[in-house]
Chain A
Amino acid sequence: AQTVTQSQPEMSVQEAETVTLSCTYDTSESNYYLFWYKQPPSRQMILVIRQEAYKQQNATENRFSVNFQKAAKSFSLKISDSQLGDTAMYFCAFMGDSNYQLIWGAGTKLIIKP
């Protein structure tokens, strides 16, 4: 069975700093997809970034980028120039190619301080 582990329950950084959130996963599938979602307080789950496992190039979306290490089964999220609006729970999620349900980590609470 697939598992997703986020080892940092909470992190806080100053505005404009760079922060990296960690995620590791376990799977025996050869093709899969990895996601980072953001859930602001009392707000909906929002897709931040998506990585396809067969693509070696790390995905980027503006200030958000990932470090995908397939052999190590690691998928970290880097947020550059952090902003107050980045304050949220961040969830790492896995989706296998054999079924398309998302398997989620427990989340990291990120606080951006002014």
Chain B
Amino acid sequence: DTGVSQDPRHKITKRGQNVTFRCDPISEHNRLYWYRQTLGQGPEFLTYFQNEAQLEKSRLLSDRFSAERPKGSFSTLEIQRTEQGDSAMYLCASSAGGNQPQHFGDGTRLSIL
């Protein structure tokens, strides 16, 4: 069991730049979730996929955010024209089904200068 893998672990960028994060779920898991966690808070749901289909997006996910999961395997989360408020930990999780426990990766910490 290799677990959920996220890359990079840390990303520092200047305001206005685009960034992309990658998540590799546990191989047999068909569901993949993205959350955002700011310091001292619980995570907030962003979006999730079942296989390659993006089934739900939070209102937190502005039009600067886009997520993909081609072929139902790994997923990418892109943020365009980054803003200071985008600074957070971005967490990816996967599960074997809708009501099954979600297993998390280490997260990608984004810092906007």
Stretch at the interface among B12-20, B67-75, B80-88, B98-106: B98-106
Measured between beta carbons, the chain A residues less than 8 angstroms from B93 are: 45
Interface check B33, CB cutoff 8 A: yes
Could you say which of A50, A93, A100 has the most chain B C-beta atoms within 10 Å of its C-beta?
A100
Say whether, besides A44-B104, A44-B107, A106 and B56 are in contact (CB < 8 Å).
Answer: no
Interface check B41, CB cutoff 8 A: yes
State the CA gap A100–B103 with chains docked (Å): 13
How many A-B contacts if CB must be within 8 Å? 50
Is B48 a contact of A106 with CB atoms below 8 Å? Answer: no
Is B101 a contact of A105 with CB atoms below 8 Å? Answer: no
State the CA gap A50–B95 with chains docked (Å): 14
State the CA gap A95–B56 with chains docked (Å): 14
Is B99 a contact of A33 with CB atoms below 8 Å? Answer: yes
Measured between beta carbons, the chain A residues less than 8 angstroms from B107 are: 44
In this complex, what residue of B is CB-closest to A4?
A: B42
State the CA gap A99–B99 with chains docked (Å): 9
Is B106 a contact of A44 with CB atoms below 8 Å? Answer: yes
Give the number of chain B interface residues (Cβ < 8 Å).
24
Interface check B26, CB cutoff 8 A: no
Give the number of chain A interface residues (Cβ < 8 Å).
23
In this complex, what residue of A is CB-closest to B44?
A: A104
Contact of A100 among B41, B43, B99 (CB under 8 A): B99
Measured between beta carbons, the chain A residues less than 8 angstroms from B29 are: none
Question: Which chain B residues in 38-75 approach chain A with CB under 8 Å?
Answer: 40-45, 48, 56, 58
Measured between beta carbons, the chain B residues less than 8 angstroms from A4 are: 42
Measured between beta carbons, the chain B residues less than 8 angstroms from A105 are: 42
Interface check A47, CB cutoff 8 A: yes
Residues of A within 8 A of B (CB): 4, 33, 35, 37, 43-47, 50, 91, 93, 95, 97, 99-107
The 8 closest A-B pairs by CB, nearest first: A104-B42, A45-B104, A101-B45, A100-B98, A44-B106, A47-B101, A91-B42, A104-B43
